[in-house]
Amino acid sequence: MVFSIRELGAGLLDLLLPPVCAGCLCETDGEALCRACDVRSELALPDEPPPEPLASWTAAVPHDDVARDWIARFKYPKRGLLGLDPAADAVASYWIRRAALAVPGEAPDAVVPIPLHAKRLRERGFNQATSLARDVARTVGSPCRPVALERIRATATQTELGRAERRRNMAGAFAARGAVAVPARIWLVDDVATTGATLASAARVLRRAGTKEVRAVTLAWRPWIG
Q: Are 144 and 135 in contact (CB under 8 A)?
A: no
73 is a domain residue: yes
Pairing relation of β-strands 56-62 and 213-221? Answer: parallel
User: What is residue 164's predicted lDDT score, i.e. its pLDDT?
Assistant: 76
Per-residue model confidence as pLDDT tens for the chain (226 residues): 444 544 544 444 453 345 777 777 677 766 777 777 776 656 777 778 899 999 999 999 998 888 898 899 998 877 655 557 788 888 899 999 999 999 999 999 999 999 988 888 888 778 999 999 999 999 999 999 999 999 888 776 776 666 777 777 677 778 998 756 689 999 999 999 998 999 999 999 999 999 999 999 999 998 877 6
Phi, psi (deg, nearest 5) at residue 80: 65, -155
Q: Are 92 and 71 in contact (CB under 8 A)?
A: yes
Cβ contacts of 49-52, under 8 Å, gap ≥ 24: 50/196, 50/199, 50/200, 50/216, 51/195, 51/196, 51/197, 51/199, 51/200, 52/200
122 is a domain residue: yes
Q: Are 91 and 69 in contact (CB under 8 A)?
A: no
199 is a domain residue: yes
182 is a domain residue: yes
226 is a domain residue: no
Neighbours of 183 (CB within 10 A): 20
40 is a domain residue: yes
User: What is residue 29's predicted lDDT score, i.e. its pLDDT?
Assistant: 66
174 is a domain residue: yes
User: What is residue 41's predicted lDDT score, i.e. its pLDDT?
Assistant: 57
The reply to whether the predicted model has a pTM over 0.75 is yes
156 is a domain residue: yes
Residue 219 and residue 58: Cα distance in Å, rounded? 9
Instruction: Note down the domain range covering 23.
Output: 5-221
User: What is residue 203's predicted lDDT score, i.e. its pLDDT?
Assistant: 96
Give me the CATH number covering residue 209: 3.40.50.2020
User: What is residue 75's predicted lDDT score, i.e. its pLDDT?
Assistant: 87
- Give how many domains the chain has, as a whole number: 1
